[in-house]
Amino acid sequence: MIHLLVDGDDLGRGTVEVEGADYRHLFRARRLKVGDRVRLVDGRGGARWSLVADVGAERARLDLLGPAPTFEPDRQVTLFVSVVRAERAVWLVEKATELGVRELRWFVSERTGRSFTKRAAARQARVAKSALEQSGGAWLPGIAPPVPLAEAGTDAGAVVLHPGAGTPLAVVRGVRTLVVGPEGGFSEREVGWFVGRGATLAELGPRVLRAETAAVAALAVALSGR
């Protein structure tokens, strides 16, 4: 099955033209031909089938058909993660998108030691698009520049990963917002700040995980609901 992310308005049209990088990928690398089916998604939960109707030298035309399955998880989880190294951030964006994260937001805390550039944001956006098309999801998570800790995990019922919390994440029900701190963990002041705002502290287990590994593992647990 081939998946392609298109503009939201495209799903309401009768035909869609494919050109540029998407054309080269689908009709040069993947060698699609007239009559092949392509599942189109708009990145906001919509999906439709389409049929390759014409293939030219630089663009192709797809005729839209009926609704297609969205393959989105039943739960919607927003992930807040302390900024990590650029390569690790890209890996996290890819895996979180494949799993079906609703939104992925970066934040800066007392022990966050990495910078975040516009170039990094652009690369993460490209990786998210590719991961969505590879996995077959229909929702493209928003990825915004880092915010201060005061803007992370302020939703009611936020769950904050904290070693030694005593409560396994697997027993926390209805997780909608997950917060993952920096490599050195949150300071005592920051932990108190979260608790004072009604957050739940939870842990994954006794092993020490990198921030991006903890984020992906916790997201998988939260999306499974167990």
Task: Count each helix (H run) and each strand (E run) in the chain, helices first.
Answer: 5, 11
For residue 143, the enclosing domain spans 78-224
Bigger pLDDT: 142 vs 65: 65
Q: Is residue 72 part of a domain?
A: no
C-alpha to C-alpha distances, 222 to 69, 99, 153, 218, nearest whole angstrom: 22, 11, 15, 6
Which tens digits make up the pLDDT trace of 124-178? 999 999 999 999 999 999 888 899 988 876 777 899 999 889 999 999 999 999 9
Residues 82 and 153 in one domain: yes
Which of 38, 67, 96 delimits the end of a domain?
67
pLDDT digits (tens, 9 = 90+) for 184-226: 899 999 999 999 999 999 999 989 899 999 999 999 999 997 6
Residue 68 structure tokens: 């297609």
147 within domain boundaries:
yes
Q: Domain with 16 in it: what CATH number?
A: 2.40.240.20
pTM, two decimal places: 0.92
Domain ends where: 39, 67, 95? 67
Please indicate, yes or no, whether residues 55 and 131 belong to a single structural domain of this protein: no
CATH number at residue 91: 3.40.1280.10
Answer whether residue 64 shows pLDDT above 90.
yes
Shared-domain flag, residues 55 and 85: no
Tell whether 51 and 86 lie within a shared domain: no
Please report the pLDDT score of residue 189 as a whole number: 94
Domain end, chosen from 14, 44, 67, is at: 67
- Domain count of the fold of the chain: 2
Q: Where are the alpha helices (DSSP H) in the chain?
A: 20-23, 86-99, 118-135, 188-196, 211-224
Q: Which of these, 110, 69, 106, lies nearest to 85 by C-alpha position?
A: 106
Together in a domain, 82 and 101: yes
**CA nearest to 132, candidates 215, 71, 199, 173:** 71
pLDDT value at position 118?
87
Task: Tell me what pLDDT residue 113 has.
Answer: 79
